[in-house]
């Protein structure tokens, strides 16, 4: 089940996006190998250990206490330059003090030695204010050249302790460090919640209802969303479950898509997300100051395009296949109301080019031109009024003449034609002369 879904999700990821999959240790290692195959080992980011269970099981040989979260990104190691930081905790901030009333504010001590002995000017000896001689410990070196050391000391960025006799250390000022902290690969209960939290959250939303077997706490999803996205980014959960990912993404100002095949898409996800819109105060609502608002659309899938043999499903009608082909070819939704009904013409696809209108940028600095790429036509389900294989659904000389006559009435009559049909009776020379590219149904329909 997982391989085809992971392959589809890979195609949906943006270049700086990331995918996060939670799993227990029964299948965690096998999934890691599978994701290496699909996403590439070079695109592996980390496996996070999430402490999802804080109790102890008396029936287990070793009580399970964690899940894995595998994270991959198409950017590979470069993803670290776009991933978000986690908020600095009160415990982390409390390490910064200002005992000497430094005008730069709160600071803490940082290391001044680095591993390995290096002799490019990094193995010198310094004298502390008390007269003590200090050199790098065996197997280490100073992190800066001697001249830079004394510049930092003059700038009050080196501490020898109150007595002036301590081994020196670097002052790290709170207002100069990163606004947040780099995520670690172990997430504790307090940091990311646990399954008992998740069950309580679901039971609070649906009193008296049986909670889901493996819900995720909102704190866990919030941590992932904080690291992986920025406000207004798009979050996809293709196994929505109880709706936690959509709820958290909405509260954190992200756009989202949730997919769920079970009946609880309507019985649980829909009412839960409506409660989010109404401003429910469970989960992460108070920490993110969620007050409600926004909207979403609840949609059901239509009939499948293909049957189990890869043929066009017999229940599919012209408009359904037309919308599918247009979206696959253009990446946009098909606007059936913008074209004349009852014809094979689906529309003309444009490439949008921008240019500067005036060098001084004072009047309408950016203008756009539309370049027609192709006009799309679909021969299917007797759209031309003739369902015989040799006519309406097949590109013959007569059908091509009808298409060209129709094409002459479109907004871009000089645009090349992209024609989908069951078969083509014309040779390459005639197609080239008419500027026609033919695509066979169903074999040339994308995402089969």
311-327 residue pLDDT tens: 888 888 999 999 999 99
User: Residue 417 and residue 420: Cα distance in Å, rounded?
Assistant: 10
User: Residue 404 and residue 435: Cα distance in Å, rounded?
Assistant: 10
- Region 353-376: what's the mean pLDDT? 63
User: Residue 95 and residue 88: Cα distance in Å, rounded?
Assistant: 11
Q: Which residues pair with 195 in a beta bridge?
A: none
Q: Is the pLDDT of residue 357 over 60?
A: no
CB-based contact 228:83 (threshold 8 Å): yes
User: Residue 256 and residue 352: Cα distance in Å, rounded?
Assistant: 26
Question: Which domains does the chain carry?
Answer: 1-85+182-192 (3.40.50.150), 90-176 (no CATH), 198-301 (3.40.50.150), 318-440 (no CATH)
Q: Is the pLDDT of residue 436 over 90?
A: yes
What is this structure's pTM? 0.69
pLDDT at 354: 52
> Quick one: tokens of 67?
């899940």
> Quick one: tokens of 381?
């389900």
CA 1 distance to own-chain centroid? 21
pLDDT at 356: 47
Residues in the chain: 448
User: Each residue of 289-318: pLDDT tens digit?
Assistant: 999 999 999 998 877 888 888 888 888 899
- CB neighbours (10 Å) of residue 77? 11
* In the block, residue with structure tokens 């078969």: 423
pLDDT-based confidence at 362, cuts 50/70/90? very low
> Quick one: tokens of 178?
């990163």
Nearest to 406, CA basis, from 379, 388, 426, 386: 379
Q: Is 179 exposed, middle or buried (0-12, 13-18, 19+ CB in 10 A)?
A: exposed
pLDDT at 245: 97
- Region 239-262: what's the mean pLDDT? 95
Q: Is 169 exposed, middle or buried (0-12, 13-18, 19+ CB in 10 A)?
A: middle
> Quick one: tokens of 413?
């009559």
User: Residue 38 and residue 10: Cα distance in Å, rounded?
Assistant: 8
* In the block, residue with structure tokens 């240019």: 355
């Amino acid at each position: 089940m997982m391989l085809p879904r992971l392959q589809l999700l890979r195609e949906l990821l943006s270049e700086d996006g990331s995918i996060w999959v939670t799993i227990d240790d029964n299948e965690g290692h096998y999934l890691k190998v599978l994701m290496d195959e699909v996403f590439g080992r070079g695109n592996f980011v980390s496996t996070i250990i999430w402490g999802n269970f804080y109790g102890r099981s008396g029936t287990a040989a070793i009580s399970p206490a964690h899940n894995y979260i595998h994270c991959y990104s198409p950017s590979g190691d470069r993803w670290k330059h776009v991933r978000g930081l986690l908020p600095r905790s009160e415990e982390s901030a409390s390490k910064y003090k200002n005992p000497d009333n430094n005008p730069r504010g709160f600071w803490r001590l940082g290391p001044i030695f680095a591993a390995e002995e290096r002799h490019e000017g990094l193995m010198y000896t310094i004298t502390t204010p008390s007269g003590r001689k200090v050199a790098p410990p065996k197997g280490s070196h100073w992190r800066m050249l001697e001249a830079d050391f004394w510049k930092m000391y003059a700038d009050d960025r080196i501490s020898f302790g109150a007595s002036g006799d301590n081994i020196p250390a670097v002052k790290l000022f709170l207002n100069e460090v990163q606004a947040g902290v780099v995520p670690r690969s172990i997430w504790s209960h307090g940091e990311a919640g646990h399954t008992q939290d998740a069950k309580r959250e679901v039971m609070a939303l649906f009193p008296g209802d049986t909670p889901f077997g493996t819900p995720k706490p909102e704190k866990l999803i919030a941590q992932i969303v904080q690291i992986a996205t920025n406000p207004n980014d798009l979050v996809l959960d293709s196994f929505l479950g109880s709706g936690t990912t959509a709820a958290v993404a909405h509260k954190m100002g992200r756009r989202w898509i949730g997919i769920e095949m079970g009946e609880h898409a309507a019985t649980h996800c829909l009412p839960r997300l409506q409660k989010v819109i109404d401003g429910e105060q469970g989960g992460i609502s108070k920490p993110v100051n969620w007050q409600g608002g926004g909207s979403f659309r609840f949609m059901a899938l239509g009939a499948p395009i293909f049957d189990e043999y890869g043929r066009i499903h017999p229940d599919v009608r012209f408009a359904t296949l037309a919308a599918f082909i247009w979206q696959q070819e253009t990446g946009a939704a098909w606007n059936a109301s913008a074209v004349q009904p009852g014809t094979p013409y689906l529309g003309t696809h444009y490439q949008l080019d921008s240019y500067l209108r005036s060098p001084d940028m004072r009047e309408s600095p950016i203008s756009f031109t539309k370049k027609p790429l192709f006009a799309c036509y679909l021969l299917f389900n007797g759209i031309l009024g003739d369902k015989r294989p040799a006519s309406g659904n097949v590109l013959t000389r007569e059908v091509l003449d009808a298409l060209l006559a129709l094409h002459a009435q479109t907004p871009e009559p000089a645009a090349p034609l992209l024609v989908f049909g069951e078969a083509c009776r014309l040779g390459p020379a005639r197609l080239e002369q008419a500027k026609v590219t033919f695509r066979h149904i169903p074999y040339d329909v994308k995402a089969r």
